[in-house]
Structure 1
């Protein structure tokens, strides 16, 4: 649920992204549990949930577990990710309460596809920043929520950091921010004004700080490795050859670093239609 899973670089790094989303769910399991507790406390009784930009299903499964009486509809543009999500749902014994819909969030008419105003809760984790026209899409999403229902927009402020104070990692993140400013201007945005412009009332906002230090979850090294490799791939045209070579070496060795941490900041907005 934590990374760019829109159409950007979709073909050549799809496998890498799938791996990162799965590792993210494994490494940040406790964090997701904390987020879901916050959602549960504020959303109240929920029987229908819509997960927009579901990826490989970390949020979908967490929602199904947190709201055991609810059915969850998972929407994503990628048939491969939805296939993986269905496999996970089956393995977790949740397949009877989870259905999947392949759709692009920029064009999907959520009110037509998912029974107008019949969703108690819409969850959008790290998917809204992909929208070409956020206010128009959020207005369509609002029409899919029943009166008294809720939207939770959950967005990362930036990509995870693994080595505090590392100059190479800092340069890479600056280059990513520069690239994203052009092709993903809403990454790290304040979604409060955008939600209000689409007709929502913002009821609450909460920042979640992730700061994992050793001993780290077993998958943390692979998570750092996969993320840095994907970072290198995305920065091929933006870093000099020395930095690219150094980033490759770092990706190869980061899982053995004693100073490895996982740091990230994510923000949730709770809104009503």
Structure 2
């Protein structure tokens, strides 16, 4: 196919816009990296040059060898991973029901689920705090995990429904003709075929949980229970101008796992988001 000047102009504008957007998000991270590899002396100088004179990795060694920051990282990973697994446990049967069963008012229910996704956690935090307090779930990882599951459940259900919609019904019908039960079809046929979608939804749920700040900030007060997002906030409050490089290194370590996971698994994640969008 021969491209016209108009097509080349459109491609050039598209790539230019993408580069501008990438620069908008990457420049703060690169500047954060520049601060994280500076020495304390260079921070005091207030040097504005982008590349430090004497870059060092000592700041990363300092924060990772401390007692608090590794605990924040472990708490964030634990809460996010358990919440992601919990989302799959609830969202997978719900997505299968919406995709394969004759659910009354299915369209209305799906729109209702999507509407819940649009509600900001900030709107419900006051009654949620009182509710969790009565249940005795304040200052517990379980309480935070349950809220994470509730927040991410609508998104997980929608994405998994798209993955299940992309699976041919003929495969399940053949299993039903062989005497497989509905649950057997779901467990032995649908879930294995939807494994890429399940993995993608799990990764997204973990990433969203990893970056969540408001929920653990309100529900957790003990320092030993804080995930990394809130831990960075507490850590920043205890630092001063002489430890700016340590704070930059801590922030970079906190955001790096989510960025790396998305870059490495972006094809899998995009595949789950677009699954079911095109039907044969």
Decide: shared fold, TM above 0.5.
no
Which interval holds the TM-score relative to the shorter structure? under 0.3
The structure whose Rg is larger is 2
TM-score, L = length of structure 2: 0.22
TM-score, L = length of structure 1: 0.22
Higher helix share: 2
